[in-house]
Structure formats: C-alpha cells, structure tokens
C-alpha cells in the first residue's frame, strides 16, 4: 500500500511510538519558531531547563506581535528576546522584519523537515512540504532543549484539488470552502494533505494561505507536495539547493478524502463571529463597510499584495472606508517599493502599517463602534479586533479591495478586468534584519521590571474539590479565555498581572471570584480552547486556582497546554451530563492514580457524573508533577 506524504515525513522523524491509529508518537523537531508574545514565556521556560545551547538544527525568534511601544514593557521584552537568542544560539528576527510565518516560508522553510512553533499558524510552512505544528511555548522550549514533540498520531484527510481557480477567486476562498465543510472542529487531530492536478496551479504563498487557515478547522497541520512550483519559489529566494521532490505514493490510502474542484469555488466570506460561518460574497453584497484590513500571516505575501496593487491601480477607495495594509515582511514591502506597485496602493488611499500582525490581534486599528470590518485575516472571534460590537468578516484580498473601493461588500468579479499576477523569477533579498547567533552575546541578560519569574505549582492532589466557577458553551476560544489586544498583551511576561484579565469579556468578575473562592472548576462544551497556542490561556486560570476543566471535547493545543500547567482536562462520558452541572455547583473529584474513569460528585445536586481522563502515561506523569516544567526538573534531579 502506498504511503501518504504525511506518513513519509512523520516516519522520517519518528523517535518514539508506532505509526498506528491513536498511538502516542514522539517526533524529532528540526526547526523551532517562536514569536514575541508567546516567546518571552517560552525562553523563560527554556532558561529554567538549564540547557546551555539550543539542540535543534535551527531555532528562530521573531518579534511581530507586540509591536506598539506605549511604554517600556514591550521594548523590554524585545531586548530580552534579542539577548536570550544570542546567548542560546537562536536566530533573531528584529521588530519590523515581518510576520513569523511569512518570513519563515520565504527564508527558512525546507521540504521534508519538521517545524514546531509557539504559534497556532505554524502550519503555514506546510505549503512547502513540511510537517509544521503549532504548540504551547513549553513544548517548543522542550524541543529547543532536544526533546521530541509528543502527540497522538493524527489521521490523514486527503484533500483532492482539481481544476484551476477562476479569475478573482483565490487561495483564501479555497480554505473558506473547506472551513464551510469541516467547521472549526472538523479537523481536530487530523492532517489535511493536499494533492491532485489543481495543486500545480497554486504558488507556494497560495499554498501557504491554505495551510495557514487549516488551523481554523482545528487540524494539527496541513501539507502540500514539494514540486516544480516549490522549486521555482525556492529559486526566487536564492535557495534552490534546499529543494527536493516530495509527494505521496500512487495509491496512497487516506482515512477520508475531501474533494474540491477549484473551478467551482466562488468568492466566499466568513461572517461574524466564527471563521466557519461561511457564505458566498454574493449573498451579503451591499452591506456597508467601514474598515478594510489587508495583511496577517494568511494574506500578506508578495503575490497577495501585487494583486492588491494591481486592483487598486488608478482607483480611489470609498470615502467611508479606512483601508490598512500590513505587508507580511520587509522583503514584500521592499519588492513592492522597488517595482513601484507600492505607489499604486498609496495613491488609492491605503494606510500602510508595519510589517507585523497589527490589527489581526487588536494591536491598533480597532474598528469604530458597530463597524463592519472586512479583513483578509484568519480569525473573527467576537471582540478580537479590539471593539466588542464590531462585525468582522474574513475574505480574500480580492474581495477586500473590491469592498474598499465600493464602500460595501462587493463580489470582486465586479471589478472588471482580471490582472495577471506573476511572481518575479528573482526577488530582492536582504537578510539584514535577522541577527544570526554568530554575532554572539556574552553579557548578563537584562530583564525589564515587567518580566516576572515563572510561577511554581505543587504536585497534584489526589482529591480535587471546589465550585464550578464558570460554565460555558461550545467553541470557547483562547481569545475568550485570555483576550489579546495591546493592553493585555503587554502583560504576557507577567503572569500575576495578566491573570487578572482571564475571561474579562465573558465574565468580568471571574478572576476575583476564582481567587476569593480558592479556585475551582470550569465547565465547557465542544472544542474548548479552540484558536491560539497561547499558554497563558491555561496558565492564567491555573494561577487563579482552576484545578480541572470538564468539557465535551477539547482543541488539541489547548489540551496540551492545560496538561503542561497541571490543569486536569476531563471530558463528559455522557455528553448530556453537561446539563447536570451548573455554575456555582460544588464538585468533588477523586483523581488518585489518574485513572481513565473518574467519578465526579456533584455535591450540590447529590449526583454522580462519569468523566474521562483520556491521556497517555507521559501526560499523566506531567499532571502528577504539577506541570511539565516541574516534571522536567524532577527528571533532571534524578539523573
Ligand atoms: C493569534 O493569532 O491568536 C496569535 C496571537 O498569533 C496566537 C499566539 C499568541 O496568543 O501569542 C496564536 O495563534 O497562537
Ligand atoms: Fe499574527 Fe494574526 Fe497570524 Fe496570529 S493570526 S500570527 S496574530 S497575523
């Protein structure tokens, strides 16, 4: 039987476990990536591991999220990150260089390698034939220290792409089509592997867009073959020598297959407030638009911004719209500047922002009250833009431009002539804003006053008791648990302070209540913790005393983060038992021995509820120790 591409790359990196369904496997990690807002914790954790130098082939630290310097805090974090990178052998990408996933794809991604990144959109590099996975900072720190990355072997969903896209339809529409089919939980514990005759019609940045937003289906990662298109992209980046051909065997078997005929995809748009709330653009045409934001790790490549420039050339945006452009990298910006295309963008009335995440994560450009904002980004969870009542829609750069010009949601096919975009064979490359570790740092690492030591947690108790502090519904995102935005994100390296903001917009009294009651439990529905990799969404509740989360199901990265910080993740054996637990109920759990079946007593209702702890022995030992850092330290003292 032929092998899928995913199986081939995984097999090459397998260091523990067997490649069988539901098996826990350990993967060798070739490259790691961090970004600043998860990176400060990740490097504090790495330092605590006491390893003198990173053990990976390549580790990179990007600064692209917390770019607003309203006071000393973000700037102090940036300095810490730069010094720690130099000390431990990590390549540092300076603020202003660009968004981690875009930069990684341009300059470092290599077919057949593995990448672990402390950002949920790390799978973008799957566009280059890699197994690239997002994880919490602690797992990335462990990988930098030479540990394998552990996960349950994902099943592989084949996605056949046939035909070719029609004019004005692009990669974003393809992934929106897939999201419409799979929803935000349809990809959990799966790899989306692309193949079929349509693949060769997509450039590497377009493949990157599709792999990037596969994250929104909950997928572990997405992967494309490495073919002549990949080779041409690497050639244009002066890296052709890093190319190898990579594809699934003929007759490879997939656990399931999804078919997308590219020619049938039409311009699509995700409506507020979920990336899977997808409709045809034509269904919502005419909705007045106040803001359009183009950029993010999904849609900020040279291909995308060349398209934007071509569509804006000679036009003027509507007086009612504020249009912002955040290029994905300095390389993209420099090439647009050199070709003159940047002028077309500026003349049309766009506001050029930094090469960074920016509005995607509520770092500036919060929309006005009740605004409709069309964004080429990947997430539109309520409030993520910084304005709680804003209506955020997700669309392609083509739809975004058409809507900016007409001041209302517009099908881009109404723009008339479709420009032909070709990527230059050779682009301008300048790696000056990467600091390679040869320029070494020998001094003492300076930590600003906002960089607080990591909290320590005791080993787990045999009995957990307390109140249900909060009961939530399905698809609770990490943006709900620990919101982003410039105010709260500046506290990423200060756990005591950031914890005060847990569930701030869901229930502003949560943090105080949790502390007052001496901790307790959270009850959730399906897909609890979807979205980002931020470990603060596990660490802050833990710091406030949350002992366990009982949910119908969990998102992959958040589940791992809960375990890593010693919070017990339990699922209801009978889903209807969810309705037998109310906020304020007192619960008692006997977790001695961390058995699979846990009996949970609802003391308030006098009922017994069956809960399940579906974890590997390795994960259980982490829980017992009180978290992964404690487990690693305990292992070190035994040696
Ligand atoms: C996001 O898009 O939500 C983020 C900000 O990039 C996060 C990481 C973080 O919270 O720092 C992610 O996707 O993992
Ligand atoms: Fe940055 Fe947005 Fe991408 Fe997250 S999703 S890495 S905030 S651009």
Q: Give me the pLDDT at residue 639, please.
A: 63
- Once rounded to an integer, what is the mean pLDDT over residues 293-314? 98
pLDDT at 424 over 80: yes
Bond from prior residue into 273 cis (ω within 30 degrees of 0): yes
Q: What SS3 string covers 534-595?
A: CCHHHHHHHHCCEEEEEECCECHHHHHHHHHCCCEEEEECCHHHHHHCCCCCEEEEECHHHC
Nearest to 209 by CA among 60, 395, 422, 479: 395
Using 50, 70 and 90 to split pLDDT, how confident is the model at 272?
A: very high
Please report the sign of the dihedral spanned by the C-alpha atoms of residue 64, residue 66, residue 67, residue 73. Answer: negative
- Give me the percent of the chain exceeding a pLDDT of 70: 99
Q: Give me the pLDDT at residue 635, please.
A: 78
* Ligand 2 site, residue 270, Cβ cutoff 6 A: no
Measured in Å, residue 120 CA sits from the centre of ligand 1 at 6
| Residue 528 φ/ψ, nearest 5 degrees | -65, 130
* Ligand 1 site, residue 212, Cβ cutoff 6 A: no
Which ligand is closest to the CA of 62, given by its number? 2
> Cβ(335)–Cβ(304) under 8 Å?
no
* Ligand 2 site, residue 408, Cβ cutoff 6 A: no
For ligand 1, atom 5, the nearest C-alpha belongs to 361
Q: Give me the pLDDT at residue 636, please.
A: 73
Query: For residue 364, is it left (φ>0), alpha (ψ between -120 and 50) or beta?
Result: left
Measured in Å, residue 57 CA sits from the centre of ligand 1 at 24
Using 50, 70 and 90 to split pLDDT, how confident is the model at 238?
A: very high
Q: Give me the pLDDT at residue 440, please.
A: 61
Measured in Å, residue 525 CA sits from the centre of ligand 1 at 22
- Cα distance between residue 229 and residue 245, in whole Å: 10
- Among 286-290, 396-400, 439-443, 575-579, the range scoring the smallest mean pLDDT is 439-443
Tell me the sheet residues that pair with 406: none
- Among 199-203, 258-262, 264-268, 436-440, the range scoring the smallest mean pLDDT is 436-440
Which ligand is closest to the CA of 208, given by its number? 2
pLDDT at 444 over 60: yes
Say which residues have a Cβ less than 8 Å from residue 231's Cβ, sequence separation at least 6: 240, 243
pLDDT at 629 over 60: yes
Measured in Å, residue 362 CA sits from the centre of ligand 2 at 10
Nearest to 564 by CA among 639, 626, 502, 484: 626
* Ligand 2 site, residue 217, Cβ cutoff 6 A: no
Q: Which atom of ligand 2 is nearest to the CA of 295?
A: 8
* Ligand 1 site, residue 38, Cβ cutoff 6 A: yes
Q: Name the pTM for this structure.
A: 0.98
* Ligand 2 site, residue 242, Cβ cutoff 6 A: no
pLDDT at 439 over 60: no
User: Active-site positions?
Assistant: 64-65, 119, 379, 532, 534
Crossing angle between the packed helical segments 204-214 and 302-312, to the nearest 10 degrees: 110
**pLDDT mean across residues, the chain:** 97
Report residue 256 as tokens. 């399931």
pLDDT at 66 over 70: yes
Query: For residue 542, is it left (φ>0), alpha (ψ between -120 and 50) or beta?
Result: alpha
Q: Give me the pLDDT at residue 467, please.
A: 98
Q: Give the Cβ contact number of residue 145 at 10 Å.
A: 18
Q: Give me the pLDDT at residue 633, please.
A: 82
Q: How far is CA 578 from the centre of its chain?
A: 28
Measured in Å, residue 406 CA sits from the centre of ligand 1 at 32
Residues 355-413: pLDDT tens digits? 999 999 999 999 999 999 999 999 999 999 999 999 999 999 999 999 999 999 999 99
Q: Give me the pLDDT at residue 637, please.
A: 73
- Cα distance between residue 190 and residue 181, in whole Å: 15
* Ligand 2 site, residue 378, Cβ cutoff 6 A: yes
- Cα distance between residue 448 and residue 252, in whole Å: 53
Nearest to 567 by CA among 503, 622, 630: 622
- Once rounded to an integer, what is the mean pLDDT over residues 147-164? 98
Which ligand is closest to the CA of 124, given by its number? 2
* Ligand 1 site, residue 484, Cβ cutoff 6 A: yes
Query: For residue 485, is it left (φ>0), alpha (ψ between -120 and 50) or beta?
Result: left
Residues 81-137: pLDDT tens digits? 999 999 999 999 999 999 999 999 999 999 999 999 999 999 999 999 999 999 999
- Once rounded to an integer, what is the mean pLDDT over residues 29-38? 98
* Ligand 1 site, residue 301, Cβ cutoff 6 A: no
Using 50, 70 and 90 to split pLDDT, how confident is the model at 309?
A: very high
Q: Which atom of ligand 1 is nearest to the CA of 119?
A: 14
pLDDT at 449 over 70: yes
Q: What SS3 string covers 482-538?
A: CCCCHHHHCCCCCHHHHHCCCCCCCCCCHHHHHHHCCCEEEECCCCECECCCCCHHH
For ligand 1, atom 6, the nearest C-alpha belongs to 119
| DSSP letter (8 states) at residue 189 | T
Which ligand is closest to the CA of 540, given by its number? 1
Using 50, 70 and 90 to split pLDDT, how confident is the model at 442?
A: confident
Q: Is 24 helix (H, G, I), strand (E, B) or coil?
A: strand
Tell me the sheet residues that pair with 206: none
Q: Which atom of ligand 1 is nearest to the CA of 536?
A: 10
Measured in Å, residue 297 CA sits from the centre of ligand 2 at 6
Say which residues have a Cβ less than 8 Å from residue 528's Cβ, sequence separation at least 6: 472, 476, 549, 551, 552, 553, 554, 555, 558
């Amino acid at each position: 039987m032929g092998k899928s591409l995913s199986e081939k790359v995984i097999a090459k990196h397998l260091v523990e476990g067997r490649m069988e369904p539901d098996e826990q496997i350990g993967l060798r990690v070739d490259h790691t990536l961090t970004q600043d807002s998860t990176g400060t914790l990740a490097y504090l954790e790495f330092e605590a591991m006491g390893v003198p130098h990173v053990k990976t082939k390549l580790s990179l630290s990007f600064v692209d999220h917390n770019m607003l310097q309203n006071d000393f805090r973000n700037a102090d974090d940036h300095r810490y990150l730069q010094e720690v990178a130099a000390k431990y052998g990590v390549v540092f990408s300076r603020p202003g260089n660009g968004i981690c996933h875009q930069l990684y794809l341009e300059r470092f991604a290599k077919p057949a390698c593995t990448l672990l990144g402390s950002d949920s959109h790390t799978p973008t590099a799957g566009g280059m034939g890699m197994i690239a996975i997002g994880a919490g900072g602690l797992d990335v720190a462990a990988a930098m220290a030479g540990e394998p990355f552990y996960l349950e072997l994902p099943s592989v969903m084949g996605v056949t792409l046939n035909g070719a896209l029609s004019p004005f339809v692009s990669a974003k529409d393809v992934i929106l089509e897939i999201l419409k089919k799979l929803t935000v939980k349809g990809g959990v514990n799966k790899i989306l592997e692309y193949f079929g005759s349509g693949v060769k019609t997509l450039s590497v940045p377009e493949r990157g867009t599709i792999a990037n937003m596969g994250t929104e289906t909950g997928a572990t990662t997405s992967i494309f073959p490495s073919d002549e298109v990949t080779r041409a992209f690497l050639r244009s980046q002066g890296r052709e020598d890093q190319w190898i051909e990579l594809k699934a065997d003929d007759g490879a078997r997939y656990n399931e297959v999804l078919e997308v005929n590219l020619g049938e995809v039409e311009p699509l748009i995700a409506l507020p407030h979920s990336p899977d709330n997808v409709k045809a653009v034509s269904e919502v045409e005419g909705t007045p638009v106040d803001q359009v934001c183009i950029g993010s790790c999904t849609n900020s490549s040279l291909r995308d911004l060349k398209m934007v420039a071509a569509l804006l050339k000679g036009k003027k945006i509507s007086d009612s719209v504020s249009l912002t452009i955040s290029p994905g990298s300095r390389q993209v910006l420099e090439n647009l500047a050199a070709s003159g295309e940047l002028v077309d963008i500026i003349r049309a009335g766009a506001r050029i922002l930094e090469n960074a995440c920016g509005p995607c994560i509520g770092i500036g450009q919060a929309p006005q009250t009740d605004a409709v904002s069309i964004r080429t980004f990947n997430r539109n969870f309520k409030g993520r833009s910084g304005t709680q009542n804003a209506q955020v829609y997700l669309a392609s750069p083509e739809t975004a431009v058409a809507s900016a010009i007409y001041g209302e949601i517009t099908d881009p096919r109404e723009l008339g002539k479709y420009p032909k975009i070709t990527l230059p064979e050779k682009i301008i490359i300048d790696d000056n804003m990467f600091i390679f570790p040869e320029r070494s740092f020998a001094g003492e690492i300076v930590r600003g006053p906002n960089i607080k030591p990591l909290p320590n947690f005791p080993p787990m108790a045999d009995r957990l008791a307390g109140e249900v502090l909060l009961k939530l519904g399905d698809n609770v995102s990490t943006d709900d648990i620990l919101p982003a935005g410039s105010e709260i994100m500046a506290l990423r390296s200060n756990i005591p302070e950031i914890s005060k903001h847990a569930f701030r917009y869901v229930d502003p009294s949560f943090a105080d209540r949790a502390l007052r009651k001496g901790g307790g439990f959270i009850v959730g529905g399906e897909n609890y913790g979807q979205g980002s990799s931020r470990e603060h969404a596990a660490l802050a509740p833990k710091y406030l005393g949350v002992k366990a989360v009982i949910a119908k199901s969990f998102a992959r990265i958040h589940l791992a983060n809960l375990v890593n910080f010693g919070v017990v993740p339990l699922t209801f054996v009978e889903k209807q038992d969810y309705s037998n637990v109310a906020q304020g109920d007192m619960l008692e759990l006997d977790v001695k021995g961390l058995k699979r079946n846990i009996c949970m007593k609802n003391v308030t209702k006098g009922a017994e509820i069956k809960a399940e702890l579906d974890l590997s022995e390795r994960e259980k030992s982490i829980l017992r120790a009180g978290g992964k850092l404690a487990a690693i330290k305990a292992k070190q003292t035994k040696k």
